[in-house]
Amino acid sequence: METWSGPLADVGGGMHEIAPSYKGGRGDLRMRVPGRIVAQPDLLAHIRDDPAAEQVANVACLPGIVGYALAMPDIHWGYGFPIGGVAAFDPDAGGVVSPGGVGFDINCGVRLLRTPLSERDLRPRLVEAVDALFDTVPVGMGSRGGLELAESDLTSILDTGAAWAVENGWASARDREHMEDRGAIAGADARMVHERARLRGRRSLGSLGSGNHFLELQVVDKTWDEVACKAYGVWQGQVLVMIHTGSRGLGHQICEDHVKDLQAVSARHGIELPDRQLACAPLGTPEADNYLGAMAAAANFAFVNRSVAATHARRALSKLFGIGEDETEVLYDVCHNIAKMEEHIVPAGPDAGKRKRLCVHRKGATRAFGPGHPDVPSAYRATGQPVMVPGDMGRASFLLAASQGALDKTFGSCCHGAGRRMSRSEAKRTWNGTELLRKLWEEDGIRVRAASPDVVAEEAPEAYKDVSRVVDSVEAAGLARKVARMRPLGVIKG
């Protein structure tokens, strides 16, 4: 992969900036706002080893963008927008929505469950627990074995999200309170979901995708903020369950369908693009509304997908350890790949300081609303929204609390994971999956079950950045603060 040698100036506060003069051309082919990347200096080498920073500059060229084109420290190359990218667009200033700013796996997100179990409870039965979860939750590319959905149920899921899960016994009302937007994105419209996408969704509900999707048994091995730990209900030595999956083939197909639909729309509206993968439509146009309706429907499907997978996990743990299913509780569920209308104070530019309703794109980035925000569940409002940052299957993941700085600087956004530093194909050439499975178990005590050894090689810990440095970067930038670190014990990979 090519490297990036463009300008990246340290502007303080854990931020590095690409000045608009980097692309100071004419018309739409110029940066309208600066690009900013959140990163500690020691991560810059990884960032420059990847051309994703060029994508940050390209996003800054889109009409109606406000403040900054942003990227988190887990930035890496993506389709159009970088993974780890954040951008907000003003509908009153010609702002756009771009499927490339959401990605193919719409609402690929994370759900974190807290259990009453300790590592001491789990360790003697770890192999049995991992095997039970692997047998219960379907995994892998195009995985079958999910719920068989009638057309009426699929439509209800797409339109109402987690409300369907509650009505059908796959989630509780309490679960909904601990989901972003209560598990239902405004504006969802099942009518905008084409038939092929529907076909791909009918048999995959309750499954993990391939690649970096997982279900993981983790133990809290370090805590920093005891007040936040109490609010979130976590304690040292506790077993948590982290589920990372999204809208599966349904969401992928929606993105594919609407990218095709929008290819000609940009030109029709006179929008020049620095990259055709940034195909977009002005907010308020029928094409933008159609995409946003379909995207929200896919996001709703993803909330229900994680609800069904979580219920399977609850039942398996209940059967093995004799605990009540309701004792395994949803701590929080958050989206990664999404575009939503939100109110924010613009941080920079001609509208700096103004509160505006904006279309915020988060691609490989997590919502992070700080203390006091009305959209944070009441139980967490004094602390700030929980932010879950998965690492890799050999090291650690983190639970953070969102800070006011995220609302001030990044439109209420934070990192979503460690971020790849090596492509999947390169990882497969570098590591042997079978040998890696043996090492993780015999040397690290981590039990891994995966769809294939190739998946294990692609997901080798060293193929990712060190998540602790990524987390240090967002903490230094004032976006979130560390609450707890979780070490993997058992991993189910797609």
- CB-based contact 366:336 (threshold 8 Å): yes
- CB-based contact 280:271 (threshold 8 Å): yes
- CB-based contact 377:177 (threshold 8 Å): yes
Q: 338-345 and 397-402 as β-strands: parallel, antiparallel, unpaired?
A: unpaired
Query: Residues 16, 76, 213, 416: which is the catalytic one?
Result: 416
Distance CA 302, CA 323 (A): 27
pLDDT band at 210 (very low <50, low <70, confident <90, very high): confident
Residue 253 has pLDDT above 80, yes or no: yes
pLDDT band at 26 (very low <50, low <70, confident <90, very high): low
pLDDT band at 94 (very low <50, low <70, confident <90, very high): very high
Selected residue with higher pLDDT from 468 and 260: 468
For the chain, percent of residues with pLDDT exceeding 90: 81
Range of lowest pLDDT (412-416, 417-421, 444-448): 417-421
For residues 294, 170, 139 and 184, what is the CA-based torsion angle, rounded to 10 degrees? 20
pLDDT at site 145: 59
For the chain, percent of residues with pLDDT exceeding 70: 98
pLDDT at site 419: 87
pLDDT at site 463: 86
pLDDT at site 28: 66
Residue 140 has pLDDT above 80, yes or no: no
Q: Measure the CA angle with vertex 391, ends 386 and 393; round to 5°.
A: 130
Residue 148 has pLDDT above 90, yes or no: no
pLDDT at site 117: 98
Which helix (H) or strand (E) element contains residue 359? Answer: strand 355-363
Q: 397-402 and 355-363 as β-strands: parallel, antiparallel, unpaired?
A: unpaired
Average pLDDT on 268-282 reads 93
Summary mean pLDDT of the chain: 94
pLDDT band at 484 (very low <50, low <70, confident <90, very high): very high
The beta strand positions in 77-171, using DSSP E, are 83-89, 96-97, 109-118
Residue 143 has pLDDT above 70, yes or no: no
pLDDT band at 35 (very low <50, low <70, confident <90, very high): very high
- In the block, tokens 């800070």 appear at 403
Distance CA 213, CA 132 (A): 18
In terms of Cβ atoms closer than 10 Å to its own Cβ (0-12, 13-18, 19+), residue 173 is: exposed
Distance CA 466, CA 446 (A): 18
| Annotation marks residue 76 as catalytic | no
pLDDT digits (tens, 9 = 90+) for 278-294: 999 999 999 999 999 99
Residue 142 has pLDDT above 60, yes or no: no
Strand-pair partners of 484: 223, 399
**What is the C-alpha radius of gyration for the chain, rounded to an integer number of angstroms?**
21
| Per-residue CA distances from 404 to 341, 408, 427 (Å) | 19, 6, 38
Closest CA to 98 of 247, 261, 336, 342: 261
Residue 1 has pLDDT above 70, yes or no: no
| Cα–chain center distance at 441 | 28
Distance CA 411, CA 56 (A): 16
pLDDT at site 420: 84
| Per-residue CA distances from 485 to 221, 255, 316 (Å) | 6, 34, 24
pLDDT at site 421: 83
pLDDT at site 345: 97
